[in-house]
Chain A
Amino acid sequence: MKLSLAGSRSALRRIFSDKLAARSFLLAASLPLLLLLLMAAALLFRTLPIFQFVSPWEFLTGDLWRPSQGEFGLSTFISGTLWVTLLALILAVPPCIFASIFLVEYARRGTLRGILPAIDLLAGIPSVVYGVWGLLVVVPLVPRLGQFLRGVFGDLPFLTSSNPTGFSILAGGIVLAVMISPIIVSITVEVLRTVPQGVREAALAVGATRWQAIKHAVLPNALPGIIAAAVMGLSRAFGETLAVMMVVGNTPAIPRSVFDPGYPLTALIANNYGEMMSIPRYDAALMGAALLLLVVVIIFNVLSAMVLARLGQEVSS
């Protein structure tokens, strides 16, 4: 009996193919980082020329965008993106959490089993279809909602506008909110279901009502997962292009109200990539906008990973 490497031929072959697999799989696993770095480098490289012309600060905060006159300020588009994304989150997250709690904690098992596949399916519906729905249903509704609000409350900050069409931040926000809600619900339901039954029973056993048990025992346990769900929804909303472009109006002015039209960064890039090679530095400016999107996504993810790691420690300790 021999235990050394100089064993049988077949042992050598097995070990060799294992080593080969280790090498190639680990090489493959380094590709994501490589892709990310390459992407950032390529975009940065194409963006740099613009900074000979405007400072990075002006590029981000300037509010004039006249490429043919060499004026490149992104702030209008940044604010468009911020408005739409925030609105989508505000509209989507609370109802999604409530709906998930309802499905897991209150609804009958059969209801959950019936609804979950439908939710997963809707998470897979292409965003352009959500855009079509926005165009057909949301855009026509928005002006009526505006009139109604004005009739009841008079002039309110953020809610009053002279925009006669429905193409608006609000339409974009609603479309995005509905688009990301299947993702958020699907993850939140999964997270709530993994909270051990004992946690609920412990709270109920000391006389808590059902909602109190959820509020004080279940939700704190599920918080990291719910945050992760919201971050995923946020990522999707933030980078969505077509669905938003179809309903948001694409007017380059800083919105004052949710009924105003807006012009998010993604729409800017998608609308203008065709002529970007024909105006000097236009391409650099648009690639700069893309780089900005990439950087924000990286920052988001790193921050949320840090928060989740912290929360994970707290929950486990």
Chain B
Amino acid sequence: MDSHISIKDLNVYYGANQALKSVDLEIPRNQITAIIGPSGCGKSTLLKTLNRFHDLVDNTRVEGEVKFDDIDIYAPDVDVTEVRTKIGLIAQRPYLLPMSIFDNVAFGLRIHDMTNRREVKGHVEKYLKLAGLWDEVKDRLTQPATSLSIGQQQRLCLARGLAVEPEVLLGDEPTSALDPISAKNIEGSLKELKSQYTIVIVTHVLRQARRLADYVVFMYLGELVEAGPASKVLSSPKDPRTKAYLSGEM
């Protein structure tokens, strides 16, 4: 397996409370990895270690090694903003930047030094198309982003995340705030994107994992219980805890 991110002996603490316990995981390149498990088992915590979001909170401690290709993203000489550029995140709810539709996508381009207006315009169009939003917004790009529907907002966030050209896309339940049709739209986009990106999503919906995932990770109480190709983990799990969860007994 060609792994894009490799995690070794990862422990995360919120104050005195340990949320991840000695996690080892290889995340395959250009595939969709789904992290599943009951509420509070540490899925979001694991995802946030991948783009160093724990840096933003007091009292959170991360121990262990997270290698992105061959670079330890927690090494002292690594620039956290660059990590987050390479490893993008689609949040659970669409959090808009307080600007127009166009500027929401252009923001990332501009901070990464794209100054040529034509180039910015071209990129904004390209990624809005990739997120499947272009046709709906092309005539109202200067309107406040808040004027979009929730589903459109989430696709805008997807376009915004894609525009900075990351290699990995993280999604923490990226469809859970959406209606079924918008959710389908996002799922479709993710499927199309996987040839160019490594995608990691957290999901509560088993059927979504079945529909999307190539690779599945099951977590329980801060531990990584089982990880493997989706077909194996979902249909013939080895661990009894995975079995119990998949059969809805948890």
- Complex A–B touching at CB under 8 A: yes
Which of B72-80, B96-104, B177-185 sits within the interface? Answer: B72-80
Return the contact of B113 from the options A4, A5, A10 (Cβ within 8 A): A10
B220 at the interface (CB under 8 A from A): no
Q: Is the CB of B111 closer than 8 A to any CB of chain A?
A: yes
Which of B11-19, B39-47, B81-89, B204-212 is the contact stretch?
B81-89
Q: Chain B's nearest CB lies how many Å from the CB of A2?
A: 8
Kindly state the separation between the CA atoms of A15 and B112 in the bound complex, as whole angstroms. 12
Cα–Cα distance between A6 and B79 once the two chains are bound (Å): 9
- Bound-state Cα–Cα, A9 to B86, Å: 17
Q: Does B111 lie within 8 Å of A14, measured CB to CB?
A: yes
Structural contact, B111 and A3, CB atoms closer than 8 A: no
Please, how many angstroms separate the alpha-carbon atoms of A5 and B112 in the complex?
Answer: 15
Tell me whether B239 is interfacial, beta carbon within 8 Å: no
Interface membership of B215, Cβ < 8 A = no
Q: Are B77 and A5 in contact (CB under 8 A)?
A: yes
CA distance A228 to B83 in the complex (A): 43
B68: interface (CB < 8 Å): yes
B148 interface residue, CB < 8 Å from A?
no
Q: Which residues on A sit within 8 Å (CB–CB) of B77?
A: 4-6
* Chain B residues with CB below 8 A from A14, complex form: 81, 111
The smallest beta-carbon distance between A128 and chain B, in angstroms, is: 39
Question: Nearest Cβ in chain A — how far from B108, in angstroms?
Answer: 13
Which residue, of B71, B81, B82, B83, has the highest number of chain A Cβ atoms within 10 A?
Answer: B82
Question: A residues 16-59 with Cβ under 8 Å of B?
Answer: none
Query: How distant is B187 from chain A, measured CB to nearest CB, in Å?
Result: 28
Known: A1-B69, A3-B71, A4-B71. A15 touches B86 (CB 8 A): no
> With a CB–CB cut-off of 8 A, which chain A residues contact B71?
3-4
Contacts of A4 on B, CB cut-off 8 Å?
71, 75, 77-79
A10 to B75 Cα, complex, angstroms: 21
- Chain B contacts of A10 at CB under 8 A? 112-113
The answer to whether B113 touches A3 (Cβ under 8 A) is: no
CA of A6 to CA of B83, assembled, Å: 14
* Chain B window 4-32, contacts with chain A (Cβ cutoff 8 Å), 1 for yes, 0 for no: 00000000000000000000000000000
Contact, CB under 8 Å: A15 / B113: no
Cβ-defined contact, B81 with A11, below 8 A: yes
How close is A254's CB to chain B, nearest CB, in angstroms? 52
Cβ A3 vs Cβ B81 within 8 A = no
Distance in angstroms from A16 CB to nearest chain B CB is 11
Alpha-carbon distance A6/B78, docked complex (angstroms): 9
* Chain B residues whose C-beta falls within 8 Å of the C-beta of A11 in the assembled complex: 79, 81-82
- Residues on B with C-beta less than 8 A from A7 are 79, 82
Q: When the two chains form their complex, are residues A5 and B78 in contact, meaning their CB atoms are under 8 A apart?
A: yes
CB distance from A4 to the nearest CB of B (A): 5
Q: Which residues of A contact B81 (CB under 8 A)?
A: 11, 14-15
List residues of chain B with CB within 8 A of the CB of A6: 77
Instruction: Tell me the complex Cα distance, A154–B194, Å.
Output: 91
CA A124 – CA B86 in complex, angstroms?
A: 50
Docked Cα-Cα span, A3 to B71, in Å, equals: 7
Residues on A with C-beta less than 8 A from B113 are: 8, 10
Residues of A close to B69: CB separation below 8 A: 1
**A3–B67 CA distance with the chains assembled, in angstroms:** 11
Q: Please measure, in the bound complex, the distance between the C-alpha atom of A14 and the C-alpha atom of B167, giving whole angstroms.
A: 21
CB-defined contacts of B75 to chain A, threshold 8 Å: 4
Closest residue of chain A to B83, judged by CB? A3
CB-nearest residue of chain B to A18: B81
B54 to chain A minimum Cβ distance, whole angstroms, is 18
Chain B's closest residue to A10 (CB) is: B113
Q: How far is the CB of B2 from chain A (nearest CB, A)?
A: 15
Contact with B along A245-261 (1 / 0, CB 8 A): 00000000000000000
Cα A7 to Cα B112 with chains together (Å): 12
Alpha-carbon distance A10/B109, docked complex (angstroms): 13
B97 to chain A, nearest CB (A): 18
Q: How far is the CB of B152 from chain A (nearest CB, A)?
A: 30
Q: Separation in Å of the A77 CB from the closest CB of chain B?
A: 46
Produce 1/0 per residue, B125-165, CB < 8 A to A. 00000000000000000000000000000000000000000
Question: Which residues does chain B contribute within 8 Å of A15, judged by CB atoms?
Answer: 79, 81
A8 to chain B, nearest CB (A): 8
Nearest to A13 among chain B residues (CB) is B113
Chain B residues within 8 Å of A5, by CB: 77-79
Q: How far apart are the CA atoms of A8 and B85 in the complex, in Å? A: 13
Binding site for B on A (CB under 8 A): 1, 3-8, 10-11, 14-15
The residues of B with any CB-CB pair to A shorter than 8 Å are 68-69, 71, 73, 75, 77-79, 81-83, 86, 111-113, 167
List 17 contacting pairs A-B, 8 Å CB cutoff, sorted by A.
A1-B69, A1-B86, A3-B71, A3-B79, A3-B83, A3-B86, A4-B71, A4-B75, A4-B77, A4-B79, A7-B79, A7-B82, A10-B112, A10-B113, A11-B82, A15-B79, A15-B81
**Seed contacts A1-B86, A15-B81; 18 additional CB < 8 Å A-B pairs:** A1-B69, A3-B68, A3-B71, A3-B73, A3-B82, A4-B71, A4-B75, A4-B77, A4-B78, A4-B79, A5-B77, A7-B79, A8-B113, A10-B112, A10-B113, A11-B82, A14-B111, A15-B79
The 7 nearest A-B residue pairs measured at CB? A10-B113, A3-B71, A5-B77, A4-B77, A3-B78, A3-B82, A5-B79
